Structure 1
Amino acid sequence: MRTALARTAGLVAVLTVTGLLPWLSGKDPALSLLRARSAEQEPTPEALAAIRADLGLDAGPLGLLGGWAGGLLRGDLGISWVSGTDVLPSVAAGLQVSLTLMGAALAVALLLGSAAAVPVLVRGRATTGAWAAALAAVPEFLLSLGLLIVAGVWLGWFPTSGWAGPAHLVLPALALGVPAGALLGRLVADALPAVLDERWVELWRGAGVGRARIAAAALRRALPPLVPQFGMVAVGLTGGAVAVETVFAVPGLGRTALGAAKSQDLPLLQGSVLALLALGLLVGALAAAVRRRLLGPALRDAGLTLPAVRPVRVPTVVPVVLGAVLLAVIGWGLLREPYAIDTAARLAAPSPGHPLGTDALGRDVLARLGHGAASTIGTAAGVGLLGYLLALGLGFLPRLASGLADIANAVPPVVAGILVAAATGPGTGAAALAVTVVSWPPLAAHAAALTQEVRASAFLAAQRAMGASPLWIVSRHVLPSVAGPVGRHAVLRLPGIALALASLGFLGLGAQPPSPEWGLLLDESADYVERAPVAALAPAIALALLAALAVTLAAARPRPHSRSLSVRGKAARGAV
């Protein structure tokens, strides 16, 4: 009930912010709409007054929001401010396309997840999971471009844009379903070995029960703790669909929401965001219902727990090599000029003067990659630091943090980016704010768990008995024990944050030209991939290296058990 109330409150809060976007931005809504409808028309007072009267903007933000909410109760989403047509048919059409795409992506995800789980059921032991971890770390927008270039442009196997038949569904479904399937497969493959080692499996084998029946029972035993994670993966598809639909020009709901945000079409944006969030909440509710059904009435309260996902074991040299390559490219690029334009060298091939070629304006690609790292990775560091400080504060308020985390988890990063960009305009700050809003829950959950563990330690009871003040205990024992592990966790999340920022830049919601931010570079280079493949693929390779670095850094994370022991040891030494 508490989770449902928190998510409902989050939905209301997001819709309220959406309704107030024109006023939150500090811009005149009538002026924005006039420019969206006709860039040549002069913004005279008479023209602006006519737009305000036509759209009911004279009623003010609260009046407009109340009118929209009242229409929503009647099943009316309003009239598009740009096209003048009903919003509901546009949202319904986009939702139908997005549901079809997400259904196909879920089918791909289940097939890929099954491919990862079957070897574990056959062998009865865990696999390395390296390939699944690598695929799960690849952002949807980057995989979309890779499939578009290789399977669509170079090989010509499938259409590269549009929505005219089953062939147009293949590449978008693969781009959306492969990362989700790799994550689901890794979760199941890591959970099954612990199940197969349980006593009942040995008894069933001794009784002559067939392997297929044991495998089915093991899957049923392993699934309940994982179903909520499956729900989160499905919710993530709603955010990933925005990038995939944009790359392949699919007329889905995500692309509709992105276009409405850029054109300041508030009613269409409200309807699209409402549908996206309602879809995510519905998937979460279905996941909870499936889990309760799998558990049965006897175990619903207690539930089942399984070991956490084991880190992928990779040689220590791998992250060192990846980091060295990235640093070398960045350092080399920083020595060059990223904004110098040479129209005579447009789309030039790699040469000693331009090791990675030039872009459509003749600018050196290597220089823009190097200087773009400061924008991409530097902003990610700022976002990570802010999330770290927020997590430390919320770690002492686990009930509040849990409710806020439910709200943040219901909003995909891309949807948050659409809303923030619509309010403040696209830019690096807008993208950083959007990622910050939705990226803190894992750190806060980590901080809350460690805080609870340290507070339950016996030495703190002794400190209280000796008369130590709460401030002394928090500042000298609890905070030092929590800050270190959560800080290391925050550092490990930096590549993922950088990829999220790059995805917003790729969609036009982050840094703007002429910034060399990596996501923006990838968006700009996609148009000339056939003429200058090296220059176009350079930012894609840099982002792929960043994703691989995220996987290898995650492999270096300590096991939860050893981390807990180190926390207790530090706390004990602090007490002494």
Structure 2
Amino acid sequence: MTYASPVSQSGSLRHWLADPHPTSPFQARMHQSWRMWRKLRRNGSALLGLAILFVIVIAAVFAPLLSTHDLFAQDLGNRLSLPSAEHWFGTDELGRDIYSRLLYGARITLYIAALTAVISAPVGLVVGAVSGYFGGWIDTVLMRVTEVFLAFPSLILALAFVSALGPGINNAIIAISLTAWPPIARLARAETMIIRRSDYISVVRLQGASALRIITRHVMPMCVPSVIARVTLNMASIILSAAGLGFLGLGAQPPSPEWGAMLSSARQFILSNGFVAAAPGMAILLTSIAFNLVGDGLRDVLDPRHD
């Protein structure tokens, strides 16, 4: 006797995923993921953003294979050369290949953006959930602290923190993270204030669940979809802040191929050799636009009102 999987019984994987009556928790999760993918697939701008991000991630991961020159090799006799078959994006003021440096610079930019998101998202989620659930003086204290951070432009505040900590990539990540969590906290607080009045939260509370358990097991998971969409939208500002710090010499230090640092060294040649600054500038622009497009798509997909 042979065993027939749910996929073969339904006739196709697509039919099994789209089954409106899932028979197991696994199928329910797959069904929800399938519905989200179908909604995202109908969003052309989100798919465009995903495609751009995919290309950037592939370029960063396989930079050693895709690069054509040593990113640190200098050739002063071939400095500021125009794009050619040998140097696809030309060379900079020290004769270094711009294309190869862009590939490795994508690694630094994605590293800063990812690590900043990993740090700021949990902090903002916890602060917002605790503030929104307890209310009272706890909410007042936490929100006043949050508003102090929101009172300053993010780049100015990041400049202040990184000036105190010292230049460098790791200090730049810490400084940007300290400016990125307040909007997430405000969003999580608003979501929590709605969720805490739900009937199922009242039932869980009547069953004797502690406040810590309610927040971690019931409130925070409900806030995660909105936080994910918000963090994705914040990626563009994180990348711009990282590039701004690098441009001012407070982020990645030379000879690191960080895009902001590349712009800083190329700014004196913008009028005479604009291609030197155009390459890292376009890389920052495309990456920021891609994250914004994906964030808009995720916001629509994760919002139940858009079913």
Q: TM-score per shorter chain, which class?
A: 0.7 to 0.9
Q: Cα RMSD over matched residues?
A: 2.6
Give the 3 Å change call, closer, same or farther, for CA 560–367 of structure 1 in structure 2.
Answer: closer
Alignment of 1:397 with 2:131, yes or no, is yes
Residue type of the partner of 1:339? F
> Residue 387 of structure 1 contacts residue 440 of structure 1 at CA under 8 Å; is this kept in 2?
yes
Alignment of 1:344 with 2:74, yes or no, is no
Which residue in the other structure is 1:491 paired with?
232
How far apart are residue 508 of structure 1 and its match? 1.9
> Taking structure 2 as the reference length, what is the TM-score of the superposition?
0.73
How far apart are residue 513 of structure 1 and its match? 0.7
Give the 3 Å change call, closer, same or farther, for CA 359–561 of structure 1 in structure 2.
Answer: closer
Residue type of the partner of 1:506? F
Q: 1:419 aligns with which of 152, 160, 178?
A: 160
Residue type of the partner of 1:371? Y
What are the equivalent positions in structure 2 for 1:180-199 lying under 5 Å apart? none
How far apart are residue 533 of structure 1 and its match? 2.8
Once residues 75 and 219 of structure 2 are traced to their aligned partners in structure 1, the CA distance between those partners, rounded to angstroms, is 58
How far apart are residue 314 of structure 1 and its match? 5.4
Per the alignment, in what secondary structure is the counterpart of residue 303 of structure 2? Answer: helix
Alignment of 1:529 with 2:284, yes or no, is no
Residue type of the partner of 2:230? H
Give the 3 Å change call, closer, same or farther, for CA 330–354 of structure 1 in structure 2.
Answer: farther
> Residue 167 of structure 2 contacts residue 249 of structure 2 at CA under 8 Å; is this kept in 1?
yes
> Residue 333 of structure 1 contacts residue 369 of structure 1 at CA under 8 Å; is this kept in 2?
no
> Taking structure 1 as the reference length, what is the TM-score of the superposition?
0.41
Which residue in the other structure is 1:431 paired with?
172
Give the 3 Å change call, closer, same or farther, for CA 547–476 of structure 1 in structure 2.
Answer: closer
Once residues 429 and 374 of structure 1 are traced to their aligned partners in structure 2, the CA distance between those partners, rounded to angstroms, is 14
Once residues 560 and 397 of structure 1 are traced to their aligned partners in structure 2, the CA distance between those partners, rounded to angstroms, is 27
Percent identity among equivalent residues? 31
Q: 1:363 aligns with which of 78, 96, 100?
A: 96
Give the 3 Å change call, closer, same or farther, for CA 315–384 of structure 1 in structure 2.
Answer: closer
CA displacement, residues 126-162 of structure 1 (integer Å, 9 cap, x when unaligned): xxxxxxxxxxxxxxxxxxxxxxxxxxxxxxxxxxxxx
How far apart are residue 318 of structure 1 and its match? 2.4
Q: Higher relative contact order by CA 8 Å / sep ≥ 6: 1 or 2?
A: 2
Once residues 181 and 78 of structure 2 are traced to their aligned partners in structure 1, the CA distance between those partners, rounded to angstroms, is 44
> Residue 347 of structure 1 contacts residue 531 of structure 1 at CA under 8 Å; is this kept in 2?
no
Once residues 552 and 452 of structure 1 are traced to their aligned partners in structure 2, the CA distance between those partners, rounded to angstroms, is 28
Per the alignment, in what secondary structure is the counterpart of residue 299 of structure 2? Answer: coil
How far apart are residue 387 of structure 1 and its match? 0.7
Which residue in the other structure is 2:53 paired with?
323
How far apart are residue 500 of structure 1 and its match? 1.3
Once residues 252 and 291 of structure 2 are traced to their aligned partners in structure 1, the CA distance between those partners, rounded to angstroms, is 22
> Residue 341 of structure 1 contacts residue 363 of structure 1 at CA under 8 Å; is this kept in 2?
yes
> Residue 496 of structure 1 contacts residue 550 of structure 1 at CA under 8 Å; is this kept in 2?
no
Residue type of the partner of 1:368? R
Task: Tell me how many residue pairs correspond in the alignment.
Answer: 254
Alignment of 1:482 with 2:223, yes or no, is yes
> Residue 358 of structure 1 contacts residue 535 of structure 1 at CA under 8 Å; is this kept in 2?
yes
Once residues 467 and 551 of structure 1 are traced to their aligned partners in structure 2, the CA distance between those partners, rounded to angstroms, is 42
- Show structure 1 runs of 5+ residues with no match: 1-312, 567-576
Residue type of the partner of 2:102? L
Which residue in the other structure is 1:508 paired with?
249
What are the equivalent positions in structure 2 for 1:276-355 lying under 5 Å apart? 315-327=45-57, 329-330=59-60, 333-335=63-65, 336=67, 337-355=70-88
Once residues 565 and 551 of structure 1 are traced to their aligned partners in structure 2, the CA distance between those partners, rounded to angstroms, is 19
How far apart are residue 373 of structure 1 and its match? 1.4
Instruction: Please tell me whether Structure 1 or Structure 2 has the larger radius of gyration of its CA atoms.
Output: 1
Once residues 306 and 247 of structure 2 are traced to their aligned partners in structure 1, the CA distance between those partners, rounded to angstroms, is 42
> Residue 356 of structure 1 contacts residue 364 of structure 1 at CA under 8 Å; is this kept in 2?
yes
> Residue 226 of structure 2 contacts residue 302 of structure 2 at CA under 8 Å; is this kept in 1?
no
Give the 3 Å change call, closer, same or farther, for CA 483–317 of structure 1 in structure 2.
Answer: closer
Which residue in the other structure is 2:30 paired with?
none
Per the alignment, in what secondary structure is the counterpart of residue 516 of structure 1? Answer: coil
Residue type of the partner of 1:469? S
> Residue 333 of structure 1 contacts residue 368 of structure 1 at CA under 8 Å; is this kept in 2?
no
